[in-house]
Each structure stands twice: as structure tokens, then as C-alpha cells.
Amino acid sequence: MTMGIVGAALTGCPSASRSPTPFYQDDLLTIASSDLVSTDHFDAPGFGDPGWSSLSTAPGAGQRLVLLKLPSSDDIRSGWWLLGRSRDPFIAAHCTRPDDAGQTLNGTPTTIDGHPFTHFETSDAGMSHYRQVSAWRGIAGDSCLSIEHIVQGVRGEVFDPPRTPAFTVDAAMARLDDVNDVLTFHNTP
């Protein structure tokens, strides 16, 4: 009988039923946790700050909600997870068919936690700089939601002595994908 009383007391205890505080939460979604480094600035060499989305020609037309960086990122290679949102009517109307350098990008329909997105793969390169992006764009209410994995850097062989990045592009993309796995939407269409 004593065991039943202890069990009942623990069940009614507020700390016993409290769930962990989410890493990020807003009116649309929750990110349960992340072991990536949260930052408010994009400090990678070679390409400019992507703003709310690297697929947008109007970086100021949206809001960056979350920017995460792989902990082992350095000046040779860095990995980023970006969540952005734009309420601009034109951007929302073209959300899943964004324009990149005058060409409309075509993506593949997919879902994240049951929410419909269009997935894009893009890349850019300069003399020794490169950027690879895996992006998901979807409509959420009256806005365009953008989730992006960005891996960029410089070729290590241009240094004397040559330098080796801390991680491969594929390993970085897989690690960034882990954040997508802990993302949940409050309401799906």
C-alpha cells in the first residue's frame, strides 16, 4: 500500500511530468533539441550572408528565425542550418518556385513532419570558394518558410601548407539533416 501512495505522489508532481524546454518554438513549429551552435550572424568566408534564405534575391524581405552552425566549422569549411520566413506576398506566391539568377528553380515535392515542401539542391563556386545548398521551401499560413543546409568554404589545397577540412560535405549535410528530424509542425495542412 505504501508503494501506491509514492507512485500517486510522483505522478501528481509537476516536475515529474514536465517535458524539456524546446530548443526553438514559434506559432508554426518546434525544434526539440540541437547540438549545433546557435548564432545570430553568418561568418563564413567567400559568399555573403544569405539573409532569410540563400534562394532569395531579396535577403531583407524575410526574417531569419534560427541559424545554427556545425561546431567543427572553421575558415576552410563551415556547415549551417538556416530557418527563415518571409511574409512578402510576392515571395509567398513564388515560394516553391524561387528565382535564382533569372532562372526559376524546379524542385521535388517532399514533406517534413507531414508538412508539404519542395526540395532544391543548388551550388555555386568561385575561384577557390564553393557553396552547396540543400533547401526546403513551403507555405505556412500567409508566408514562405525556408529550411536550408548550407556547406561552404575554400579549397584547402590553395593554402601553403595545404589544409584539410574538419568534415566532408556529405558528413556535414547528414549532420544538418538531424535538425530536420527533430522539427515538428503544430498544424499541418
Model confidence over 86-129: pLDDT tens digits?
999 999 998 998 876 566 778 999 999 999 999 999 888 888 88
Report the share of the chain in percent with pLDDT over 70. Answer: 86
What local confidence, expressed as pLDDT, does residue 9 receive?
Answer: 41
* CA 95 – CA 64 distance, rounded (Å): 16
What local confidence, expressed as pLDDT, does residue 189 receive?
Answer: 56
pLDDT in tens, 151-179: 999 988 888 898 999 999 999 999 999 99
Confidence of residue 5 (pLDDT cuts 50, 70, 90): very low
Q: How far is CA 48 from CA 26, 43, 51, 97, 129, in A?
A: 27, 9, 9, 22, 12
* 2, pLDDT greater than 50: no
From the DSSP assignment, how many helices (H) and strands (E) are in the chain? 4, 12
* 10, pLDDT greater than 50: no
* CA 187 – CA 185 distance, rounded (Å): 6
How many residues in the chain?
189
pLDDT in tens, 75-91: 899 999 999 999 999 99
What local confidence, expressed as pLDDT, does residue 146 receive?
Answer: 96
What local confidence, expressed as pLDDT, does residue 102 receive?
Answer: 60
* 46, pLDDT greater than 50: yes
